[in-house]
């Protein structure tokens, strides 16, 4: 059963989706799922000058990686389509016309050059030019012209735009689910263009018309759209339509806490800002969370907590748990600082919780790229043994290379500290004992070797450190007997023999 809750994510395909955009999509998704509602993807591509090839696909694919699914959209279809604004082009003009007929909008014939000149003239006087109630009657529009003049200009094909006739002095009182009551006087607002000379609506008109026609119940979007809210509300009123509820999400701030996290910050400061890698049409590459080794669960989890708080100490949430716990009431007003170290922490946590066999398969790929092979069982064994030590799957190699490559050299510091002729003799003795050892199962091997060490009155710490040096080439790695057991008798003996030959006696 779906409810009347209908929310949309409405990106413009002007480039890749910044993590702030993914968070907007996520919060819409969570809200929809929480209320058994419908989540819609609408592509807002009315500004053809800013269209970037590949951006639409990028948006869809990166959200799919995050596990964010749409119920209606350009790929899913639905009863309210088409879902791409350029495919809805034909329907906007009538709405602009309707506003002209009711006196809420007007034709404006000023050319871009004329407007530029007005801006420059004002600037020279230290002022700013605004197309508004004060200036409009001295400009070239249907409010200043006679109806006859306007008709003539249109008939002779003069290019025009349609502008909203902003009331001169009116207090607009708006309700935002996150910010409460917001008031703005229209005296500070200009006559925004609703319909452009290229026959396309602007964002404002298309957005309101589509939210209305698609029966959107809640508009959840970034704080940067708050300044547009008075116009949007006035547009709903001008059409006589019921407006949706609005919620403007707080900004995501730079790690320093100063200013909005921008698309350039990430690679400058060493963390991704985009969900997946993006190559600009210019060839510039921006790193992605996916390619940097983040699990989608971790990415979603860290995004959810940027601006929303669960009201408890819990920090780890799966997508299902987020749906369960999410509410707009718990989204804050103030900007939320992004912490790259915390992002890594989330990945570390999700590495422990993630399905081990999936990680194992990815680990096998990683090994393959390095020219090594491991069976699924072996990869699974290593993932379970070592994932506690890493934040990212890629770091597993550094924790496990000695399972695949015998030491090419031995850490000098360790050799100096832990190797001498006495331990060399012990290692030789242990090697002989191992050769007769039938089972190489870790605990059995451990018991046998430890008993042997005890029996021969060797220093246990000394001999175990030396054995590790021979097996790994350094004093690191997991449990020594796990390593030996994984490698088996032949390789273990070969490594001990080689170390005995190469290390000083
Ligand atoms: N197309 C706008 C954007 O790119 C949508 C804003 C809104 O959600 O109203 O963010």
What is the tens place of the pLDDT at every residue in 273-303?
Answer: 999 999 998 999 999 999 999 999 999 999 9
Mean pLDDT over 22-29 rounds to 98
Catalytic residues: 263
Q: Reduced to 3 states, what is the DSSP secondary structure of residue 38?
A: strand
> How far apart are alpha carbons 358 and 393 in whole angstroms?
11
- At the top level of CATH, the class of 1-73+250-354 is alpha beta
pLDDT, tens only, 385-414? 999 999 999 999 999 999 999 999 999 999
Distance 225 CA to ligand 1 centre (A): 7
Residue 489: alpha-carbon gap to chain centroid: 47
Ligand 1 atom closest to residue 203's alpha carbon, by position in its atom list = 1
Nearest CA to ligand 1 atom 10: 11
Provide the token pair at 144: 């200043």
Pocket test for ligand 1, best of 6, 39, 221 (most atoms within 8 A of CB): 221
CA distances from 429 to 96, 379, 426 (A): 92, 32, 5
Quote the CA–CA distance of 498 and 482 in Å, as a whole number.
Answer: 20
pLDDT band at 48 (very low <50, low <70, confident <90, very high): confident
Closest CA relative to residue 22, chosen from 38, 11, 13, 33: 11
Q: Which helix (H) or strand (E) holds 208?
A: helix 203-213
Looking at residue 320, its pLDDT comes to: 97
What would the two tokens of residue 17 be? 């989706």
Mean pLDDT of 469-494: 97
- Average pLDDT (164-187) is 97
Q: Which residues contact 177 (CB under 8 A, 6 or more apart)?
A: 218, 245, 246, 247, 328, 329
d(CA 64, CA 89): 27
Task: Look at residue 270 in the predicted model and tell me its pLDDT.
Answer: 86
Indicate whether residue 11 lines ligand 1 (CB < 6 A): yes
What pLDDT does residue 169 have? 95
Answer left, alpha or beta for residue 309, where phi above 0 means left and psi between -120 and 50 means alpha. beta
Q: Ligand 1 centre from 261 Cα, in Å? A: 18
What are the residues whose beta carbons fall under 8 Å from the beta carbon of 481, sequence distance 6 or more? Answer: 442, 443, 445, 446, 449
Question: Residues near 207 by Cβ (< 8 Å), separated by ≥ 6?
Answer: 10, 44, 232
Which tens digit of pLDDT belongs to each residue from 303-321? 999 999 999 999 999 999 9
Interval 325-374: pLDDT, tens: 999 999 999 999 999 999 999 999 999 999 999 999 999 999 999 999 99
Terminal Cα distance for the chain, rounded = 78
d(CA 377, CA 212): 55
Residue 167, exposed/middle/buried by CB under 10 A (0-12, 13-18, 19+)? middle
pLDDT confidence band for 494 (50 / 70 / 90): very high
Per-residue tokens: 438? 């039938």
- Residue 1's pLDDT band (boundaries 50, 70, 90)? low
Question: How many A from CA of 45 to the centre of ligand 1?
Answer: 10
Q: Select from 10, 40, 45 the residue to mutate for testing ligand 1; criterion: most ligand atoms less than 8 Å from CB.
A: 10
The DSSP string of 249-288 is EPPEEPTTSSSB--TTHHHHHTS--BSS-EE-TTS-EE-B
Question: Residue 86 and residue 51: Cα distance in Å, rounded?
Answer: 11
Instruction: Quickly count: other Cβ atoms within 10 Å of residue 457's Cβ.
Output: 7
Whether pLDDT at 192 is above 70: yes
User: What is the residue whose two structure tokens read 């001990």?
Assistant: 496
What are the two backbone dihedrals, phi and then psi, of residue 10, each rounded to the nearest 5 degrees?
-130, 65
**Sheet arrangement for strand 171-176:** 38-41, 6-9, 218-222, 245-249, 171-176, 180-185
Cis peptide before 82 (omega within 30 of 0): yes
- The domain spans of the chain are 1-73+250-354, 89-195, 360-502
b/e 413-450 (16+ beta carbons within 10 angstroms → b): ebbeebbeeebbebbeebbebbeebeebebeebbebbe
Determine the residue of 12, 201, 220 to mutate for testing ligand 1's pocket, defined as the one with the most ligand atoms within 8 A of the Cβ atom. 12
Quote the ligand 1 centre to 178 CA distance (angstroms).
18
Q: What is the mean pLDDT of the chain?
A: 96
117 CA distance to ligand 1 centroid (A)? 30
Least confident of 25-34, 47-56, 75-84, 125-134: 47-56
CB-ligand 1 contact for 18 (6 Å cutoff): no
pLDDT at 268 (0 to 100): 81
The answer to whether the CB of 225 is under 6 A from ligand 1 is yes
Q: How far is the CA of 12 from the centre of ligand 1 (A)?
A: 7
Tell me the backbone φ, ψ of residue 364, rounded to 5 degrees.
-60, -40
Ligand 1 in contact with 207 (CB < 6 A)? yes
CA dist 51 → 44, 252, 335 (Å)? 10, 25, 29
Q: Does ligand 1 lie within 6 Å of residue 44's CB atom?
A: yes
Indicate the pairing of strand 38-41 with strand 6-9.
parallel
Q: Is any atom of ligand 1 closer than 6 Å to the C-beta of 191?
A: no
Any idea which architecture 89-195 has in CATH? Alpha-Beta Complex (3.90)
Cα 442 to averaged position of ligand 1 atoms, centre (Å): 59
Please give the full DSSP string across 437-452, using - where no structure is assigned: -----HHHHHHHHHHH
Ligand 1 contact, 499 CB (< 6 A): no
Level-2 CATH architecture, domain 360-502: Orthogonal Bundle (1.10)
pLDDT of residue 505: 83
If one residue of 176, 203, 226 were mutated to test the ligand 1 pocket, choosing by the most ligand atoms within 8 A of its CB, it would be 203
Helices (H) and strands (E) in the chain, counts: 19, 13
Contacts of 273 (CB under 8 A, 6+ apart): 18, 19, 261, 262, 263, 265, 266, 267, 286
Backbone phi and psi for residue 4, each to the nearest 5 degrees, phi listed first:
-85, 5
Nearest-atom number in ligand 1 for the CA of 8 is 8
DSSP assignment string, 135-188: TGGGSSBTTTS-HHHHHHHHHTT---EEEE---SS-EEEEEETTTEEEEEEGGG
């Amino acid at each position: 059963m779906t409810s009347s809750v209908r929310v949309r994510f409405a990106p413009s395909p002007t480039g890749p989706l910044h993590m702030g955009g993914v968070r907007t999509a996520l919060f819409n998704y969570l809200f929809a799922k929480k209320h058994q509602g419908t989540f819609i993807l609408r592509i807002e591509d009315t500004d053809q000058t800013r269209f970037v090839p590949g951006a639409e696909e990028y948006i869809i694919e990166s959200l799919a990686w995050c596990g964010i699914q749409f119920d209606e959209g350009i790929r899913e279809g639905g009863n309210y389509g088409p879902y791409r604004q350029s495919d809805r082009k034909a329907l906007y003009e009538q709405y602009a016309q309707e506003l002209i007929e009711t006196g809420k909008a007007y034709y404006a014939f000023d050319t871009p050059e004329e407007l530029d000149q007005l801006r420059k003239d004002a600037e020279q006087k230290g002022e700013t030019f605004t197309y508004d109630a004060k200036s409009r009657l001295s400009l070239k529009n249907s409010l200043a012209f006679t109806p006859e003049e306007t008709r003539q200009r249109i008939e002779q094909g003069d290019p025009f735009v349609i502008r909203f006739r902003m009331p001169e002095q009116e207090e607009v009182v708006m309700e935002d689910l996150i910010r409460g009551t917001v008031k703005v006087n229209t005296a500070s607002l200009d006559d925004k263009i609703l319909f452009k000379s290229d026959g396309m609506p602007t964002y404002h008109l298309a957005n309101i018309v589509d939210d209305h026609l698609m029966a959107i119940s809640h508009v959840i979007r970034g704080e940067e759209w708050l300044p547009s809210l008075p116009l949007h509300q006035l547009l709903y009123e001008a059409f006589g339509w019921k407006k949706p509820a609005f919620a403007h999400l707080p900004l995501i701030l730079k790690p320093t806490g100063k200013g909005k996290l921008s698309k350039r910050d990430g690679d400058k400061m060493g963390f991704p800002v985009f969900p997946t890698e993006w190559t600009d049409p210019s060839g510039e590459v921006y790193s992605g969370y996916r390619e940097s080794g983040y699990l989608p669960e971790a990415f979603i989890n860290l995004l959810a907590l940027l601006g929303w708080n669960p009201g408890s100490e819990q920090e780890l949430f799966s997508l299902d748990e987020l749906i369960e716990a999410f509410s707009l009431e718990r989204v804050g007003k103030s900007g939320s600082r992004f912490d790259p170290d915390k992002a890594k922490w989330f990945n570390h946590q999700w590495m422990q919780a993630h399905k081990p066999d999936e990680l194992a398969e990815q680990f096998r790929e990683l090994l393959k790229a390095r020219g090594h092979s491991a069976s699924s069982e072996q990869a699974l064994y290593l993932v379970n043994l070592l994932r506690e030590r890493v934040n990212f799957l890629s770091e597993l190699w550094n924790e496990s290379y000695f399972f695949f490559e015998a030491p090419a050299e031995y850490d000098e510091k360790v050799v100096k500290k832990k190797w001498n002729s006495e331990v060399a003799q012990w290692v030789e003795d242990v090697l002989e004992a191992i050769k007769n050892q039938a089972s190489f199962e870790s605990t059995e091997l451990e018991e046998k070797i430890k008993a042997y060490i005890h029996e021969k009155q060797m220093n246990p710490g000394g001999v175990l450190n030396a054995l590790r040096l021979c097996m790994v080439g350094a004093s690191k790695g997991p449990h020594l007997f796990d390593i030996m057991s994984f490698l088996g008798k032949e390789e273990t003996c070969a490594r001990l023999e080689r170390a005995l030959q190469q290390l000083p006696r």
